Amino acid sequence: MRTTWIVCVVLCCLVGGTARAEMLQHLGNTDPATEGWYVMSGVPGYAEADYWVTKTNGYGRWAPTGTAWQSYFADDWSLTVEARWVAGPLTESRATIFDGTHAKSTAFTWDSTNAYYYQAGLGDTAMPGVDPTVFNTYELQYRGDDLECDVLANGNIVTTLDDWTMNDITPGQYLLYWGDNSGLGPSEMHWREVTFRDYIPAAIPEPSTLVLLLGAAIAFFAFRKRW
């Protein structure tokens, strides 16, 4: 019994510590207006299946309500987006974070061929091996101590943006939005998730890794008990 209890404690520590609440999140086909978002400009879109649709011939952007959450940009934070492209030019649909002057802007953008990450001053860079027409998970993970922001696609690091400080934000500026970026033409995006956290989520071990860890822990404690 004691061995079982110790093994459980070890595995809990490996999988992750105390759960933390999401700071701001859109999930599935839930109306973003009920989740703490507001229509920054244009039309809101609509629910369909297990996602939210932004489909318009002009602006249609969702932004967070209030400004209190902006204070977390000086420290670690992460943005997770699960989305797929359906129609529209490159700069039409995006999920973006910027500092009001665009000096430290970064974003995810899409077209019929590629998914891109955008960095102010460098433009859009295609992420290899990512099909924009199917749902993928895109992430920004910012480390305040290092002033670095990792760009990930489906859990794989695509690049790291260096010297990307976000500690000079002026309260009240729009720092995060998703949906249509401009009135360049008809567009359509499907959004399953848009999540902003005031921390970087810990990686969860694969099931096979957990099995190996469990076996090793049991063997270790069995050996100790024997001797």
Q: Which residues contact 208 (CB under 8 A, 6 or more apart)?
A: none
100 within domain boundaries: yes
126 within domain boundaries: yes
Q: How would you write the pLDDT of the chain (227 residues) with one tens digit per residue? A: 454 444 444 444 444 444 455 578 999 999 999 999 999 888 889 999 999 999 876 668 898 887 766 766 667 889 999 999 998 877 778 888 876 555 567 889 999 999 999 887 788 999 999 999 999 999 999 887 888 889 999 999 999 988 766 555 565 566 788 998 766 667 889 999 999 988 877 755 545 544 555 555 555 555 455 55
Q: What residues make up the domain containing 121?
A: 19-201
219 within domain boundaries: no
How far apart, in whole angstroms, are the C-alpha atoms of residue 182 and residue 177?
12
- Residue 31: DSSP 8-state: -
45 within domain boundaries: yes
CATH number at residue 164: 2.60.120.200
56 within domain boundaries: yes
141 within domain boundaries: yes
- Total domain count, the chain: 1
